[in-house]
Structure 1
């Protein structure tokens, strides 16, 4: 979508991103647990700078920000006024020289748009794939469950001649993806509502996804992977994508797997899904232990660790 078709709130949010760029704003987003620990320090009760407001999601005094930022936040509908202490309803994170707007901390809303350490690992995997000498030309690419759009945007910027689709079932994610794409100057990215690949017909040269993979008692879409031990959505994406790869096309799936004493349940599904088909595949644990605090929650009693994995599947013919 061109910015000229944006809603007034999207226009203001885009202008807010430009204003933060002009002020040399940067912020690297950590895990929710790290965020909680750092914000709990007494000296961090109130924001003292832009990172405190737009990165750490701390309350701030209205006098901290200049009039331009306040008015843009108000116009974008992201200014939460709570008496003498105000807050931002969005965060802005840095990745690869770009700024991305996403949901405030804590991400408790049903339509929250997540951005965190998994995002950085996901984009790093995409970068590695795109930079490989053997990577074929990409004409059509798609990011399933795009969230704030970092995967789709990375492909769009690296392959400006490609048609890139950013898909999500969350309207808020699509709104923010459009803002992030416009802020980065990506003209070849289209955000559209779709359950998996249902609304995106045809074959693709590259399909990427970074789905939620946790068990979430609140069933939040950005977090709950569904199925057994949170693997449901990862399995659904794999099954949907394999039949939609163009000849020579690839699926790059970054996800997390709840490992038990019996081994890796997702890897077993992968082996079954690719068996007897003209597919080459590679499966790698890129981090053997992430979000260890989740093991204290119900449903994880038999889980020994949660590993971050990258699966790459290529249609050979």
Structure 2
């Protein structure tokens, strides 16, 4: 998985299956495949994010950064039916699955796009993400600064990161970049970070 899920076109042979996302307020059956992130189950970090974040804004544009086959984006779509939900990824196979899953769930307020194809003028009232830590620190930092810079002035991002993959150092780094960041939840070695728009005085 670590070798393929952030590839544009994974080499892994297709092996379609389904997983269930069951939360107190919704139940989604999602198609997955080899070569995408966490194909055999809802990733524990994703589940913790979806169980702990406050309710998303009910209007505006909301983003799932690194959407995979869509569990976060589709949850946003269910919880904010009047909002416009965007899921972005580099993995074409994951995006095709996400589109199929949105259609199956009847969520016409959720759209998916390659990460470089989304309208650069969009600004987001919320960003939810289980970010691709394994792409490497420099690439991750560039990714986060790019998209966090597209929050609205009152928008907030929520990120879930494993402690042993650097959640605490990422929190410090984001604060150093001028993005006020605090931990709002901690469970099973995962941290959920709330990130605010950049304020003057960051080091970037």
TM-score by length of 1: 0.50
Within 2, Cα distance between the matches of 1:128 and 1:120?
12
Within 1, Cα distance between the matches of 2:173 and 2:181?
13
Within 2, Cα distance between the matches of 1:187 and 1:259?
35
Does the CA contact (< 8 Å) of 2:58 and 2:81 recur in 1? no
Cα drift, residue 273 of structure 1 = 1.5
Number of equivalences? 184
Within 2, Cα distance between the matches of 1:315 and 1:226?
23
Q: Deviations 1:211-237 (Å, cap 9, x if unpaired)?
A: 222xxxxxxxxxx3213xxxx444233
Within 1, Cα distance between the matches of 2:177 and 2:155?
17
**What residue number does 1:208 align with?**
128
> 2:195 matched to 1:272?
no
> 2:141 matched to 1:235?
yes
For the pair shown, which has the larger CA radius of gyration, 1 or 2? 1
Cα drift, residue 171 of structure 1 = 0.8
Cα drift, residue 185 of structure 1 = 1.1
Structure 2, gaps ≥5 residues long: 1-12, 200-204
Within 2, Cα distance between the matches of 1:153 and 1:254?
17
Q: Which has the higher contact order (CA 8 A, sep 6+)?
A: 2
Q: Deviations 1:115-151 (Å, cap 9, x if unpaired)?
A: 26663432442353343xxx65431101111101111
Within 1, Cα distance between the matches of 2:105 and 2:182?
31
1:99-248 matched pairs, under 5 angstroms: 99-104=29-34, 112-115=35-38, 119-131=43-55, 136-195=57-116, 199-213=119-133, 224-227=134-137, 232-248=138-154
Cα drift, residue 280 of structure 1 = 4.6
> 2:188 matched to 1:282?
no
Does the CA contact (< 8 Å) of 2:62 and 2:84 recur in 1? yes
Within 2, Cα distance between the matches of 1:313 and 1:137?
19
Q: Secondary structure at the match of 1:311?
A: strand
Q: Secondary structure at the match of 1:190?
A: strand
Structure 1, gaps ≥5 residues long: 1-79, 81-87, 105-111, 214-223, 290-307
Q: Secondary structure at the match of 1:310?
A: strand
Instruction: Say if 1:157 and 1:198 are closer, same or farther in 2 by CA, change over 3 A.
Output: closer
Name the structure where strand makes up a greater proportion of residues: 2
Instruction: Say if 1:285 and 1:160 are closer, same or farther in 2 by CA, change over 3 A.
Output: closer
